[in-house]
Amino acid sequence: MADPRALYQEVILDHNKKPRNYGTLAHASHQAAGHNPLCGDQIDVALHLSDKCIDCIAFQGASCAICKASASMMTVAVKGKTRAEAETLIHEFTAMSTGKLDLSGDHHIGRLVVFAGIADLPVRVKCAILPWHTLHAALNAVESTSTEAELDPMHVTIGNA
């Protein structure tokens, strides 16, 4: 079996160099801006929700490699999903990133499991969670969000909506 840390590094590098769904999205039905003041990451997420499914999603911004890779993998993971399925993934990713998801139990994480080790790097958790936090804001018509104060994902677990 491959070393999980090597796989994590490979995936982060790949999605950082060649981010999927990077750019703007014309005619977005939902959008939000996210900011991580600790790291300086700034991510905008835009999506088009039709027939209760996310049919298009894009992100852009200036961020560290972990944030960009997380955003890239997030867009791939939620494209084609319903709003409820996306909210479930948001909740599970947040729980996994903070060490609160039992990976041996029932979950929908799939390939996102490469981020499981981020829980061991507390200073990087907010980098990985920012895109997901921003997607949650967009789905709930919140214009902007931050990883600080009452919106801090380290202290507030996003629940299923």
The packing angle between helices 83-97 and 122-139, to 10°, is 170
**CA of 159: how far to CAs of 8, 37, 90, 133, in Å?**
26, 23, 8, 11
pLDDT of residue 151: 54
pLDDT score at 3: 64
Write the pLDDT tens digit of every residue in 16-49: 999 999 999 999 999 999 999 988 999 999 999 9
Q: Look up the pTM and report it.
A: 0.90
Is residue 154 predicted with pLDDT exceeding 50?
Answer: no
First to last CA, the chain: 37
Whether 72 and 22 have beta carbons less than 8 Å apart is answered as yes
CA-to-CA distance for 95 and 117, rounded, in angstroms?
12
- Pick from 89-98, 120-129, 152-161: least confident: 152-161
pLDDT in tens, 53-93: 999 999 999 999 999 999 999 999 999 999 999 999 999 99
Provide the residue type at 102 as one letter: D
Tens digits of residue pLDDT in 91-117: 999 999 999 999 999 999 999 999 999
Q: State the pLDDT at residue 150.
A: 62
- β-partners of residue 43 are 34, 61
Work out the mean pLDDT of the chain and round it to a whole number. 89
The sign of the dihedral angle between the CA atoms of 42, 48, 53, 54 is: negative
